[in-house]
Structure 1
Amino acid sequence: MKQEEMWQAIIHCDASYDGKFYYGVKTTGIYCRPSCKSRVPKLENVCFFTSQKEAEEAGFRPCKRCRPDIFSYDPIETLASQTKEIIDQHFQDPTQLNLHLKNMGVTRKHASAVFKKQYDITLSDYIRQTRMAYARQLLQDGLSILDVSLEVGDSNLSSFYDQFHREIGMSPARYRQIFAKDISRTQIETPIGNLQIMASKEAILCIEQSSISIDPMIHADASGKWIEACCKELKEYFDKERTSFDLPLALEGTDFQKQVWQQLQTIPYGQTRTYGEIAAQIGHAKASRAVGMANHNNPILILVPCHRVIGADGSLTGYAAGLEAKKYLLALEKMIR
């Protein structure tokens, strides 16, 4: 290869010549790849070499910018890979994550741009997806939603709920009910239609109306015990032999939703409350509409008696299992004759 050709490759930082030759700079004592982005030296200060070994035997050190001593060195790939490794190791701890990213010696903006170029995903999106993937795994393992939120580095439960719903398309509570390995499920026929019951080892998680038949999956552990107890108590309720329930409940939702659901449980059998009354009782007098939404999203029908909440004018407003079901339950409790 002629010197003029090599010199033109250096001037134009031509990566196609990398590995074909190296050049040393007499004034600095370092040697580089043709594609090195360092300032172009004067030709009279340049030595040309056919290999790394030849350059080093001549007393030159490898450039720390273009790393000619590493055959496959790619600064963008290396920076992106280092960033990914930091995220994978520290995504559960936002403080440590930000500290390690800061200590990389590049701006967050530059790291984000390099990461996007290498992996075709933004830095923030990758962090969020990594956290959500871990959250799904923990929910499948049966951890409580609060524990999962803390494990993935989000101490704000409402924020975790919102982010999980946007990313996965359902609430973390619903995801856990469907996919957790240690959850028992069954379905029973009732006067208001088929009800699906789900329970963990600790408590009842969900009672909801079901329009499709499911194969019961009842584990030989505490979760199965709660399923059986719930079926028995619901039968007694519909047979007018029971006015209260003796079952542990795991109400999984935002802090506001849990406030509403807990207040619903204080409504005595045979009585009703309005949305406005519930709002006032939990200290949010102007939040009757939000109470209505929480009421509608109640995960445990009947045991958490959202059917006992009515409109301010006494009308029977919406109910997750349908207005006919609500009318039936209130009639059963002798509110409608």
Structure 2
Amino acid sequence: MNRQNALLPPHAEMVRAMLERDTAYEGVFFTAVKTTGIFCRPGCTARKPRPENVEFFAHADECLSAGYRACLRCKPLDAAAIAPDWVQKLLIAVDANPEVRWSDVQLLAEGVEPLKLRRWFKQHFGMTFHAWLRTRRLGMALGGIKQGHSIDHVAFDSGYESLSGFRDAFQKSFHITPGRATHREPLLFSRLTTPLGPMIAMAERRGLVLLEFLDRPALTREVEELQHRYGYAVAPGHNGHLRQIEEELTQYFAGKLTGFNVPLHLPGSEFARQVWAELAKIPYGQTSTYGTIAAKLGKPGASRAVGLANGHNRLSIVLPCHRVIGADGSLTGYGGGQPRKAFLLRLEKAAVQLTEHLAF
């Protein structure tokens, strides 16, 4: 099953939601109109097309890749960068009372349909809401252990009724016992929705470590390397670095931010870090080549090695490997896919042109 159809609601339900402008489906799917070449949010107030002239996509970047333009009325690219109101309300409630287990009965009492919530979380977080809650509690427990709290305290504070149940769940999640967790650095992750599809951000106390599109083929290998080679214990959660990158990405996609300020931590070889440092120097709205980067490093014959290090960059967009193109000006390989690379370059070029126009 392809990515477009894997987590979409039934076709008839999407048609109904589109015709009734059901805002409960904001962020769940996008409506693309074949006759106009425009894609919209489900709740768009524009005149509704005939159902036979519509196709549905799970992600905004799929609409763009299929040749559709964003609707100027409902601005679906802006909407794709945030969770719908009903999800945001629930996430705020979870943050306020992290120990609550949130049964289906409680969700319904809050006006949240459990099946719809499950579908949204599977699409944007890669797991069900209840699985996310469990791993989030374990992540908080890991943080407590690192801060010197006793295993007994963090187990019961995390909502577990027995130490054995907590130990089993902890070891299953982190592949270590709670007693050994004091030697592992917590790497907290959060999934973000963006105009180009969902991304995952990971950060530890020193800075942002990873920012990738969830469908990047190398993502699993990158996370395993962080766990096994660099000793991280990966868990869902929030910290200041994750909140900062979420805010900065929103500004970047709005064309209002040309440089990221979030602190970075870059585990890797010395040569890879040198290449990544050169990536960070490529100006917003401009491009470079592997050969140029190799020359700046004093290794003009190392274009291929530069390309490999570029491909191992874990910080998409922040370390702008999308600004590296072929010597002939062609769009070379990009881990997030060439349609995304083209979109990012167009976004930056348009923002630069707008700034220059306003300067006159």
- In the superposition, the TM-score normalised over structure 2's length comes to 0.41
Structure with higher Rg: it is 1
Q: More relative contact order in 1 or in 2 (CA 8 Å, sep 6+)?
A: 2
